[in-house]
Amino acid sequence: MLTVSTVNVNGLRAAAKKGFVEWLAATEADIVCLQEVRAAPDDLPEDLAAPAGWHTVHADSRVLKGRSGVAIYSRAQPSATRVGYGVTEFEASGRYVEAWYPGVVVGSLYLPSGEVGTLRQEQKERFMATFLPYLVELRDKAAASGCEVVVCGDWNIAHQEIDLKAWKANRKNSGFTPGERAWMGRVFDEAGYRDVLRVLRPEGPGPYTWWSYRGKAYDNDSGWRIDYQVATPGLATRAVKAVVERADSYDDRWSDHAPFTAVYDWPAGGDQAQS
């Protein structure tokens, strides 16, 4: 089995003070993808930058210090890593990092959030326009090497109405605009990837992965599913379990996101990716 977790930590140093360290110590994951780390490796204590028993690769934002940032922790050492996906505008933004293991390529993605009618939304749309061709390129490159792909992370888009509680009220808001939803559809239809959770749980609503800190959103489970594991079919169809690790209560949360963990029945080549 290969177990992969992904979580937006909403600031790794802050999450560590609230329970992330304990979660990492207890997880059975072979690979953990982090987003919104908000710190360069040199600014993190050793037990976060390179925890004992884990190999780590970080991509921090060199454009806006203390913002964005992604990382991959794995029990096995990757054979190769990559920061960014080759587009100059986003190369130093801490939005994407990739690690190659025998039989599987893992990406950690923090797709920009946006705000309709602002420059932030335009940036988000430029990222989407350039990242989709890269997903196709990565799929083909991995296949040529006998590998499957899983891109984990905070995609900042709810694909379907079943992916957020208040979908009617958010139809014109960033994260659920028709254009963004159509783009996610292209990831699945044109690029040929699969939404791992929906492979196993096609019916909704939810489960959600992000809840606002405002009001009673968490208590009322008024959330969004914006954290995904998006995999090539050869891996996605081997998923046997997918679970959102939702904290028991608001006070038990160490991020405004919950970890999303998937277990894959991965054959001989993939088994080598584990410790």
Point out the annotated binding site: 8, 36, 154, 156, 256-257
Instruction: Look up tokens 């009322």; give the residue.
Output: 220
Q: Which of 101, 134, 218, 257 is catalytic?
A: 257
Q: Of 73, 85, 101, 110, which is the active-site residue?
A: 110
Amino acid at 162: I
Give the position of tokens 């177990």: 3
Structure tokens at 236: 């996605």
Provide the Cα torsion 99, 101, 103, 108; round to 10°: -30
Bind-site residues for Mg(2+) = 8, 36, 154, 156, 256-257
Which of 137, 140, 141, 139 shows the shortest CA–CA distance to 149?
Answer: 139
Q: Answer yes or no: 101 catalytic.
A: no
C-beta atoms surrounding 142 within 10 Å = 19
58 is catalytic: no
At 240, phi and psi to the nearest 5?
Answer: -115, -15
Determine whether 257 is an active site residue.
Answer: yes
Of the residues 154, 163, 195, 227, which is catalytic?
154
Integer Cα distance of 143 and 60 in angstroms: 28
**Residues involved in catalysis:** 110, 154, 257
